């Protein structure tokens, strides 16, 4: 896999040339790195599913360079969406709309809806702008494994199976976009992410998903996900970490004795945004061959902390199946 500087115009041109030929290309976004294909090209999109070993029932997000042509892809734009577009695009908010026919079924896993976002990373924007087509892209990791926040995570996962990754530096948020859908009396959050519920609720009413009967589980919302290879257990603090042959993911500097072999601290000052930006890269570092398990501290579910805990809970449900050839 070639790693090219995404700030360089020639790198963008090469990526566009590959995408036009039906290839897939990895690129940076402000949340995590994505693995993209031209959204109109079902065969190229199929390559994404193959390379990621992603089940075909799990839909992809379509990335645009701005909201100007949104109406070409979706049937209607509710007034709540107009407000959120003004407030959060470009940025890490994915909105689910009823799709038009131009979006192939493989992108949406046969659903009548499509998730769309406008990323704010300048390299992603430049890529889509130069290509002049929407880009379908999941996170650039093996299905079920942790999302890549650094270019070397992508290079390690896909080696020879993806021709090119554009380097855009470390992802700023480190957590995927927030995914929402629209309903008569408000929006439902399908995946907590980089835009917090608090931020959303300044613009729209949020429907409590547990109390609502109108929302079905999206096929991609599996109870396990984001998993390290080693089993992960949630703990309240060092005294819960009884196995010494382990890694330990702390929120702040652990208080009291801790027997773990490897320790990472997400944010010494207790800043949840900093914790989010370190989250996947630290978890990937702690997922090592020389340990039996990973302990991760529960953190406050305020702000982006909610998105971190959602991922930790899913990671604790199951550990990933072995990856044959890419680690
Ligand atoms: O930040 C992000 O969103 C990153 C970057 C690359 O943009 N992308 C990302 O994609 O996280 P992915 O494929 O790893 O996660 C997208 C999830 C799917 O698993 C699925 O649950 C949900 O988005 N999704 C996509 N389209 C949907 C739809 N039409 N209805 C419900 N959920 C949908
Ligand atoms: Mg993903």
Q: How far apart are CA 50 and CA 189, in angstroms?
A: 28
CATH number assigned to the domain comprising residue 65 = 3.90.870.10
- Tokens linked to 18: 């590959």
- For 182, the 3-state DSSP assignment is strand
Last residue of a domain, one of 182, 201, 220: 201
Q: What ligand has the least distance to the C-alpha of 109? A: 1
Residue 323 has pLDDT above 70, yes or no: no
**Are 155 and 87 in a shared domain?**
yes
Closest atom of ligand 1 to 114 CA is 29
- Measured in angstroms, how far is the CA atom of residue 239 from the centroid of ligand 2? 32
Average pLDDT for 312-320? 82
Q: Do 16 and 143 reside in the same domain of the chain?
A: yes
Q: What is the pLDDT of residues 78-132, one digit of tens each?
A: 999 999 999 999 999 999 999 999 999 999 999 999 999 999 999 999 999 999 9
Sheet bearing 61-63, strands edge to edge: 2-5, 164-167, 25-27, 34-38, 135-137, 61-63, 113-117, 93-98, 178-183, 186-191
Distance, CA of 266 to CA of 292 (rounded, Å): 21
Which residue's structure tokens are 């030929």? 21
- d(CA 93, ligand 1 centre) in Å: 10
Same domain? For 46 and 191 the reply is: yes
Query: 183 and 59 in one domain?
Result: yes
Residue 65, domain member (yes or no): yes
**pLDDT-derived band at 171, boundaries 50, 70, 90:** very high
Centre of ligand 2 from the C-alpha of residue 255, in Å:
33
Torsion angles phi and psi, residue 317, rounded to 5: -75, -25
Q: Which one-letter DSSP state was computed for residue 61?
A: E
**Whether 139 and 180 share a structural domain:** yes
Last residue of a domain, one of 201, 223, 240: 201
**Is residue 118 a contact partner of residue 134, using CB atoms and an 8 Å limit?**
no
| Contacts (Cβ under 8 Å, ≥6 apart) of 71 | 77
User: Is residue 154 located within the same domain as residue 293?
Assistant: no
Domain of residue 310: give its range. 232-316
| Ligand (nearest to CA of 193) | 1
**Residue 34 maps to a domain:** yes
The answer to whether residue 168 is domain-embedded is yes
User: Which residues have CB under 8 Å from 213's CB, separation 6+?
Assistant: none
Instruction: Say yes or no: 107 and 177 in one domain.
Output: yes
Alpha helices in the chain (DSSP H): 9-20, 42-52, 70-73, 79-88, 105-108, 122-131, 151-158, 197-200, 272-286, 305-317
Record the pTM: 0.93
Give residue 214's pLDDT band: very low, low, confident or very high (50, 70, 90): low
Looking at the fold, whether 7 and 130 belong to one and the same domain comes out as yes
Burial environment of residue 220 by CB neighbours within 10 A (0 to 12, 13 to 18, 19 or more): buried
- Those residues whose C-beta lies under 8 Å from the C-beta of residue 275, and which sit 6 or more positions away, are 251, 266, 267, 299, 304, 305, 308
Q: Is residue 112 part of a domain?
A: yes
Same domain membership, residue 241 and residue 173:
no
Same domain, 93 and 177: yes
**How much is the average pLDDT of 225-249?**
94
**Total domains in the fold of the chain:** 2
The CATH number for 251's domain is: 3.40.50.11030
**Over 60: is that where the pLDDT of 219 sits?**
no
Q: Are residues 142 and 267 in the same domain?
A: no
Pocket of ligand 1 (CB under 6 A): 29, 31-32, 34, 58-61, 92, 94, 96, 108, 111, 113-115, 119, 137-139, 176-177, 179, 190, 218, 220-221
């Amino acid at each position: 896999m070639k790693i090219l500087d995404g700030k360089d115009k020639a790198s963008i041109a090469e990526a566009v040339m590959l995408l036009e030929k039906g290839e897939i290309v990895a690129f940076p976004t402000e949340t995590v790195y994505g693995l993209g294909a031209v959204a109109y090209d079902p065969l190229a999109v199929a390559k994404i599913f193959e390379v990621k070993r992603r089940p075909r029932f799990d839909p992809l997000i379509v990335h645009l360079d701005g909201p100007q042509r949104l109406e070409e892809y979706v049937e209607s734009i509710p007034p709540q969406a107009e407000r959120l577009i003004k407030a959060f695009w470009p940025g890490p908010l994915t909105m689910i709309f009823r799709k038009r026919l131009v979006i192939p079924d493989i992108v949406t896993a046969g659903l009548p809806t499509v998730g769309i976002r406008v990323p704010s990373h300048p390299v992603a924007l430049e890529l889509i702008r130069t290509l002049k087509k929407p880009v379908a892209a999941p996170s650039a990791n093996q299905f079920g494994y942790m999302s890549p926040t650094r270019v070397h995570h992508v290079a390690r996962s896909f080696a020879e199976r993806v021709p090119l990754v554009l380097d855009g530096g470390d992802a700023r948020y480190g957590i995927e976009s927030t995914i929402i859908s629209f309903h008569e009396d408000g929006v439902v959050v399908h995946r907590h992410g980089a835009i917090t519920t608090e931020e959303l609720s300044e613009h729209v009413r949020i429907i409590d998903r547990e109390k609502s009967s109108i929302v079905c589980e999206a096929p991609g919302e599996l109870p396990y996900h984001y998993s390290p290879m080693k089993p992960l257990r949630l703990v309240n603090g060092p005294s819960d970490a009884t196995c010494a042959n382990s890694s330990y993911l702390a929120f702040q500097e652990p208080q009291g004795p801790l027997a773990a072999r490897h320790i990472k601290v997400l944010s010494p000052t207790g800043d949840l945004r900093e914790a989010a930006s370190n989250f996947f890269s630290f978890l990937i570092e702690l997922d090592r061959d020389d340990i039996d398990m990973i302990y991760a501290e529960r953190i406050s579910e305020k702000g982006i902390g909610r998105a971190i805990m959602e991922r930790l809970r899913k990671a604790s449900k199951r550990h990933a199946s072995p990856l044959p050839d890419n680690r």
